[in-house]
């Protein structure tokens, strides 16, 4: 029998980093910026938090509030800087977004592994990893009543606070995009910056703010992964290719963060499906199961382009720099 009670919480925990990443990327793409630097930004978000909490743990005192606040602020700051760098290059200097994004990913993953590696040396541990048990305890703490409520508690209440933040942020982003004036302006910027500019909307400002906010949200995904999912253990390349999966998720949800909540759990499930499908001794087949999230994304991509419904299309100016004086 397929063990749903243990599968679903694992799937959700896998899905949360993807949810952060895809919410951030959706906000970014709605402003017309295709930020392929998200995988790098998530690495930076993770390592900034790790660096912050590492030095705080070293200092000895463990004020519960600061233990959470310091990594959180470091992570937000780190990913904000990456977002600003991307914006400066693509919005102010109007550089090619694909190239800038890929460079940002190289840079970000490099930063993550570099500082991670340096900290590992500094910690002098025997295993090549940084262990931040004390900090992680605060991040992964769930409500005490969760354990008493049986399957209900396990399915809905057993996660650290960042998981709930992810869902709230996604819902808030969906609301802002769909129902508020700011969201309308933002979508206008992404669809047709020329029109938005003519209507008196400050295109650069919207692009900057949404991309930076998007980066910060995505960076939290990296932080969640380290602090909650892996219980505070950083090792090189630990975060893997989840950043790309988050970008895939944006397409899968057709640019709707509220759909992303369930979709990310689905992706999380697909990501760990291979551990739960009984395949006996045949390890090779497991590798094929790992294709699932990517295959599903391609199918959605193809279907949405075949149906060609107007509300399911990418923002019209996605990937293009805006220059007012260009015809």
Partner 1 sequence: MNNKQHTPLFHVSKRGALPWYGSWAIRGGAVILALMVSALVTNLLTGENPVNVFTTIYKGSFGSARKMWVLGQNVAILLCVALAVTPAFRMRCWNLGGDGQMLAGCLATAACMILLGDKIPNWLLIVLMLVSSVVAGAVWALIPAIFKARYNTNETLFTLMMNYIATQLVAYYIIIWEVPKGAGKIGIINQSTNAGWLPQVGPSKYLLNIIIVAVLTVIMYLYLNYSKHGYEISVVGESERTARYVGIKVGKVIIRTMLLSGAVCGLAGMLLVGGTDHTLTTTITAGRGFTAVMVSWLAKFNPVWMILTSFLLVFLSKGGSEIASNFGLSASFGDILTGIILFFIIGSEFFINYKINFRKSGEKEAK
Interacting residue ranges for partner 1, rule: CB under 8 A:
34, 36, 85, 88-89, 92-96, 98-100, 102-118, 121, 236, 241, 244, 247-248, 251, 283-285, 287-288, 290-291, 294-295, 297-298, 301-302, 305-306, 308, 314, 319, 323, 325-326
**Residue 192 and residue 15 in contact, taking contact as beta carbons nearer than 8 Å:** no
Rounded distance, CA 249 to CA 212, Å?
19
Helix axes 181-191 and 203-224, enclosed angle (nearest 10): 100
For the CB of residue 145, give the shortest distance to partner 1 in the complex, in Å: 40
**Cβ neighbours around 154 below 10 Å, total:** 17
Rounded distance, CA 256 to CA 65, Å?
33
Nearer to partner 1, 118 or 133 (CB): 118
For the CB of residue 141, give the shortest distance to partner 1 in the complex, in Å: 32
Nearer to partner 1, 7 or 294 (CB): 294
**Residue 233 and residue 226 in contact, taking contact as beta carbons nearer than 8 Å:** yes
Nearer to partner 1, 146 or 259 (CB): 259
For the CB of residue 109, give the shortest distance to partner 1 in the complex, in Å: 6
For the CB of residue 55, give the shortest distance to partner 1 in the complex, in Å: 17
For the CB of residue 25, give the shortest distance to partner 1 in the complex, in Å: 11
Nearer to partner 1, 55 or 88 (CB): 88
Alpha helix (H) ranges present in the chain? Answer: 4-30, 38-59, 64-87, 97-123, 133-139, 150-156, 161-179, 181-191, 193-198, 203-224, 242-252, 257-276, 283-289, 292-307
For the CB of residue 40, give the shortest distance to partner 1 in the complex, in Å: 8
Token pair listed for 203: 């295109």
Nearer to partner 1, 8 or 84 (CB): 84
Nearer to partner 1, 199 or 295 (CB): 295
- The dihedral through the CA atoms of 155, 160, 162, 168 has a sign that is positive
């Amino acid at each position: 029998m397929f063990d749903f009670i243990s599968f679903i919480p694992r799937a959700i925990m896998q899905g949360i980093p993807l949810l952060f990443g895809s919410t951030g990327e959706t906000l970014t793409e709605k402003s017309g910026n295709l930020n392929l630097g998200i995988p790098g930004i998530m690495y930076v978000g993770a390592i900034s938090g790790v660096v912050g909490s590492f030095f705080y743990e070293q200092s000895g005192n463990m004020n519960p509030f600061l233990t959470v606040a310091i990594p959180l602020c470091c992570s937000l700051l780190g990913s904000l800087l990456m977002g600003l760098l991307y914006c400066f290059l693509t919005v102010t200097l109007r550089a090619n977004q694909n190239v800038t994004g890929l460079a940002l990913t190289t840079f970000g993953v490099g930063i993550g592994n570099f500082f991670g590696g340096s900290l590992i040396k500094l910690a002098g541990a025997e295993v090549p990893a940084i262990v931040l048990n004390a900090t992680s305890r605060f991040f992964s703490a769930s409500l005490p009543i969760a354990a008493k409520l049986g399957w209900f508690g396990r399915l809905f209440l057993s996660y650290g606070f960042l998981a709930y933040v992810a869902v709230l942020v996604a819902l808030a982003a969906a609301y802002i995009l769909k129902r508020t004036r700011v969201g309308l302006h933002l979508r206008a910027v992404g669809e047709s910056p020329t029109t938005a500019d003519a209507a008196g909307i400050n295109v650069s400002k919207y692009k900057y703010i949404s991309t930076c906010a998007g980066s910060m949200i995505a960076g939290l995904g990296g932080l969640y992964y380290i602090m909650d999912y892996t219980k505070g253990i950083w090792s090189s390349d630990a975060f893997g290719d989840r950043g790309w999966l988050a970008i895939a998720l944006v397409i899968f949800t057709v640019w709707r963060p509220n759909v992303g909540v369930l979709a990310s759990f689905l992706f999380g499930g697909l990501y760990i499906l291979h551990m739960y499908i009984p395949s006996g001794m045949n390890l090779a087949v497991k590798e094929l199961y790992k294709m699932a999230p990517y295959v599903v994304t391609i199918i959605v991509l193809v279907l949405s382009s075949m149906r060609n419904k107007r509300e399911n299309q990418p923002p019209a100016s996605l990937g293009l720099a805006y220059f007012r004086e260009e015809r």
